[in-house]
Structure 1
Amino acid sequence: MCLPMQRVFLLFWGAMKKIFLYIFVVLVFAGSWAAWLVFGPATSFESKSKFLFIRPDKDVKTQVLDQMDNGLINHSVVFDWLAANASVWEKVKPGRFEIKKDENLFNIVRMLRNNTQSPVRLIINKWRVKEDFARQIARNFDIDSATAMQYFLSNDSLKTFNVDTNTLFTLIIPDTYFIKWNSTLPDIIGKLQSENDKFWQNDNRLQRAADAGLTPQQVYTIASIIEEETNKNDEKGNVASVYINRWHKGMALGADPTIKYALRDFSIKRILYGHLKVESPYNTYRNKGLPPGPVCTPSKITIDAVLDAPRTDYLFFVAKSDFSGYHHFSTNYAEHEQYAKAYQHALDEWMARKQKQ
């Protein structure tokens, strides 16, 4: 009896070992699969990255899962389970979140739980009109261009920042700014104003402006005209000296860029007498003094060129007849007229050759 019982036990134990082995294999497989679901690549797109947007006026969970199901990740059911257990739906805030290609669910859940948002990289180069600003706002933030324009045209809204609808651009220093996607218009302008204040406080710019007898807004406005006049950094100081001299003498600035701005036609190549008749406070041929505000957002280099403008007696300048992009500077009208005629003659000849081609 003992031998058969021993044989039964051995058979039983052999069967149990197989069962345990099968269970172990299944558990290892299940664990590996679960680990792969959580820690393996989970994105379903081929681009470098995509953004998840959460707006404040809609249910957070619905927004997130809808976007996850539509081109962001695979295994959204697993994501939902992980997010719920990590209290994501209670902790995540409205904003923009970047999901990189091949990111795993664990890191995505952790990013949302920690509210690690991806700020907008707002690049400001040269803008001429408020519509340019509004388009950039609509392109980068959760704000439409019509709402932005309404705000930019409201002096009541802008007075908080000590500017009006004409001087709004004086708050904007061309640069790259990192701002939260869900920022409001006051948030965005406040950020630009803060950086603008830092710019003027650096490099003794406030004192340099005062030494030139100018306010920062006046410096900015003059710089905006120069930005449109020339792209030659090494002569911007002389151009600035012309406008500063004319302004201090009570002369009309006679700045062509202000005419283009008044007409809202920046494609004009030659300012004609007919253009000078435009009725606008920006017409610096008919109105003495500076225009009501800048005609574009000038570069830092151009602003500094105004602050460092040399003391000259120049009152006039005109493009050189060699079309180099540089200018002749004059202290009197007779000399200026000679240079102007030479340029006009060269331009007429060039246009005649162009028409024959």
Structure 2
Amino acid sequence: MYIKKILVAIAIIGLAVAAYFAYYIYGAMLKPNTAFNNEEAYVYVPTNAKYADVREQLVPLLKDIDKFDALADRKKYSTNIKAGRFVVKKDMSNNDIINSIRSKNIPLKIAFNNQERIEDLAGRIAFQIEADSLSLLKSMTNPEFLNKNGFTKETALAMYIPNSYEVYWNTSANGFRDKMLKEYNRFWNKSRLAKAEKLNLSPIDVIALAAIVHKETAKVDERPRVAGVYLNRIRKGMPLQADPTVIYAVKKESGDFNRVIKRVLYKDLETDSKYNTYKYGGIPPGPIFMPDVSAIDAVLNEEKHNYYYFVANVKNFGYHKFAKTLSQHNANRQEYVRWINKQGVNR
């Protein structure tokens, strides 16, 4: 009888211990432990981060950080941190959270377009991934990389085709740059390369010319016609005489790219810069801007015509009047000059 009581007591204690252990396991591992109302939250873990860095981000997201700490130690997460962008979903348990931030690095979509300089692009990308703008700029302008892949400091911007791309948040500066080189080579497929060759232009020349086309007109449907004007000029050996290149040259010479120049003055045409297509013939030494794909394809698929001149159409804003002769162009230009003078635009 005595032994039986002992066995019963042991059994009761065992059940109590098991119940406590089960409760502990449920509380520490399986019980929902999120404290936010949104469906999900993201945790960004920097390269070489310590557990304290991760914990700092988790504190406002969790109801009981102490239980999370205990499980993180037990599962050895606190000594094996992984960098990346991770999701914590509403009502996740500590166990699910650890599994997520340990091994489920989620890529994100980055986007960029219409940057004027490689420095601007580096700054835009730095807002979207872990790498800072200085390391990105250093990587993008690395002389060895540029030379190996057929670029120069002046043409480096041409390698970045405006679009949205999927990358990991913790992608390094070199990793981002190398991915963009692959995307550049993918963009320049056999069809586009054949069209560029037919124009006697390199891909970089096409992009440099597309940058001018993009700046000249925001109307996508007009870009092939504008591209045709410049290609006609190139074929005839005429200077491009593109106002956007003069504006870029003035900004570059002054070092002030924040300037807003709405009107090109005669004195601007004397700016001694290879980017000034009034003073120097041919395509500028590099793109003055990051053109949209529509502008690049407009050059590759130019509209065939006999126009050599164009000026803003004051009766159809956004579009231009095109001319085959200089006399016709001068008449169109006088109409534009009268209009802009009435607007009081001096600079």
TM-score of the aligned structures, taking structure 1 as reference length: 0.83
2:29 counterpart letter in structure 1 = V
Residue 222 of structure 2 is matched in structure 1 by 235
Residue 202 of structure 2 is matched in structure 1 by 215
Relative to structure 1, is the Cα distance of residues 101 and 163 closer, same or farther in structure 2, using a 3 angstrom cutoff? farther
8 Å contact 1:37–1:75 — kept in the other structure? Answer: no
CA drift of 1:215 comes to 1.6
Relative to structure 1, is the Cα distance of residues 116 and 288 closer, same or farther in structure 2, using a 3 angstrom cutoff? same
1:326-337, aligned counterparts within 5 Å?
326-337=319-330
8 Å contact 2:135–2:173 — kept in the other structure? Answer: no
Relative to structure 1, is the Cα distance of residues 103 and 162 closer, same or farther in structure 2, using a 3 angstrom cutoff? farther
8 Å contact 2:210–2:295 — kept in the other structure? Answer: yes
Residue 288 of structure 2 is matched in structure 1 by 295
Residue 62 of structure 2 is matched in structure 1 by 73
1:236-275, aligned counterparts within 5 Å?
236-262=223-249, 263=251, 264-265=257-258, 267-275=260-268
* 1:286 pairs with one of 279, 282, 290: 279
CA distance in 2, matches of 1:49, 1:211: 51
CA drift of 1:27 comes to 5.7
8 Å contact 1:319–1:326 — kept in the other structure? Answer: yes
2:310 aligned with 1:317: yes
Residue 104 of structure 1 is matched in structure 2 by 93
CA distance in 1, matches of 2:69, 2:270: 66
8 Å contact 1:142–1:182 — kept in the other structure? Answer: yes
Residue 254 of structure 2 is matched in structure 1 by none
2:168 aligned with 1:180: yes
CA drift of 1:195 comes to 1.2
1:39 counterpart letter in structure 2 = L
2:242 counterpart letter in structure 1 = A
The secondary structure found in structure 1 opposite 2:130 is coil
1:1-357, aligned counterparts within 5 Å?
20=12, 31-32=22-23, 34-45=25-36, 48-56=40-48, 58=49, 60-69=50-59, 71-89=60-78, 92-113=81-102, 115-201=103-189, 204-262=191-249, 263=251, 264-265=257-258, 267-351=260-344
CA drift of 1:104 comes to 2.6
8 Å contact 2:311–2:329 — kept in the other structure? Answer: yes
CA drift of 1:161 comes to 3.3
8 Å contact 1:260–1:266 — kept in the other structure? Answer: no
1:68 counterpart letter in structure 2 = L
| More moved, 95-104 vs 162-171 | 95-104
8 Å contact 1:161–1:190 — kept in the other structure? Answer: no
CA distance in 1, matches of 2:168, 2:44: 13
Across the aligned residues of Structure 1 and Structure 2, the Cα RMSD in angstroms comes to 3.0
CA distance in 2, matches of 1:116, 1:276: 56
| More moved, 83-92 vs 243-252 | 83-92
Aligned residues: 336
CA distance in 2, matches of 1:26, 1:154: 64
1:146 counterpart letter in structure 2 = L
CA drift of 1:209 comes to 1.6
Relative to structure 1, is the Cα distance of residues 62 and 160 closer, same or farther in structure 2, using a 3 angstrom cutoff? farther
TM-score of the aligned structures, taking structure 2 as reference length: 0.85
The secondary structure found in structure 2 opposite 1:274 is helix
Unaligned 5+ runs, structure 2: 252-256
The secondary structure found in structure 2 opposite 1:294 is coil
CA distance in 1, matches of 2:36, 2:246: 49
Unaligned 5+ runs, structure 1: 353-357
The secondary structure found in structure 2 opposite 1:318 is strand
State the Cα deviation string for residues 287-336 of structure 1 (Å, max 9, x = none).
Answer: 11111111222111111111110222221110112152111111211111
Residue 355 of structure 1 is matched in structure 2 by none
8 Å contact 1:173–1:196 — kept in the other structure? Answer: yes
CA distance in 1, matches of 2:149, 2:76: 39
The secondary structure found in structure 2 opposite 1:290 is coil
The secondary structure found in structure 2 opposite 1:210 is helix
| More moved, 318-327 vs 92-101 | 92-101
1:171 counterpart letter in structure 2 = M
Relative to structure 1, is the Cα distance of residues 219 and 238 closer, same or farther in structure 2, using a 3 angstrom cutoff? same
8 Å contact 2:224–2:302 — kept in the other structure? Answer: yes
8 Å contact 1:52–1:99 — kept in the other structure? Answer: no
CA distance in 1, matches of 2:142, 2:336: 43
CA drift of 1:32 comes to 4.8
